[in-house]
Structure 1
Amino acid sequence: MKFLFDENISYRILKKISTLAPQSLHVSRIGLTQPASDLDIWNFAKKKGFVLVSFDEDFQDLSHLNGFPPKVVLLRVGNSSTQNIAEILFSKWSDVEQFYQSETFGLLEIF
């Protein structure tokens, strides 16, 4: 599984989750014009097989409009540190894996 982390999450998350998802990338490092539009990020994730991870509810809207792929993990944990986000992902990893394997669901909200 590989994540594409939105710009509202620090690129430092990559190091913290590298044991779980070593092929993950951050939006700032994929060659899109910065700031990248949500649609450009969506299309990149779809084309390259990433799961989008964001706080941005616009990706929820895109998921409802377009379906999946890409799948979207929407973090609903408020303003959180990079360390806290990593800990949340680790603690919810079994849910994330089930979501990733699901052929039914394209959006996972983590509270």
Structure 2
Amino acid sequence: MKAEGLVNAFDRQIWDYAGLHNFTIVTQDSDFNDLSILFGFPPKIIWLRTGNLKITAILDVLVRNYSDLEKFEADNELACFEIVLS
């Protein structure tokens, strides 16, 4: 976000930027799933439903799900990949 100048951007601005640049949004915010339902995709969404985690813990979650995330990225029919931890 910082590198792209989007730190203080609204969700819709992030959505549009990600779609334009073929980026996937990794988020803990349900608003991006709502945008996906309203506008379709791209961009794709990786929705982390994990509660508050440190960056290193989020990285660990993503690494543990790497194989499934690769399949998700390759599937043109899927818009949102949810990772749920209780």
Tell me which interval the TM-score lies in, with the shorter structure as reference length: over 0.9
Could you tell me which runs of 5 or more consecutive residues in structure 2 were left unpaired when the two chains were aligned. Answer: none
Q: TM-score, normalised by structure 2?
A: 0.93
Query: Which of these residues, 28, 48, 70, is aligned with residue 2 of structure 2?
Result: 28
SS at 1:50's partner residue?
Answer: coil
The aligned residue for residue 79 of structure 2 is 106
Letter in 2 for 1:39: R
* Consecutive aligned runs of 4 or more in structure 1 exceeding 3 Å deviation: none
- Quick one: distance in 1 between partners of 2:5 and 2:65? 30
Task: Report the counterpart of residue 58 of structure 1 in structure 2.
Answer: 31
SS in 2 for 1:28: coil
Q: Which runs of 5+ in 1 are unaligned?
A: 1-26
- Could you tell me which residue of structure 2 aligns to residue 67 of structure 1? 40
Distance in 2 (CA, whole Å) between partners of 1:81 and 1:56 is 16
- Report the TM-score, using the length of structure 1 for normalisation: 0.73
Q: Secondary structure at the match of 1:110?
A: strand
- Give the aligned residue type for 1:51: T
| Aligned CA-pair RMSD | 0.9
Which amino acid counterpart does residue 28 of structure 1 have in structure 2?
A: K
How high is the sequence identity, in percent, across the aligned residues? 39
- Kindly state the Cα deviation for residue 31 of structure 1 after the two structures are TM-superposed: 2.1
- The Cα of 1:35 is off from its aligned counterpart by 1.2
Q: 1:67-103, CA deviations, whole angstroms, 9 ceiling, x for partnerless residues?
A: 1100000000100011100000000001100100001
Count residues in correspondence.
84
SS in 1 for 2:46: strand
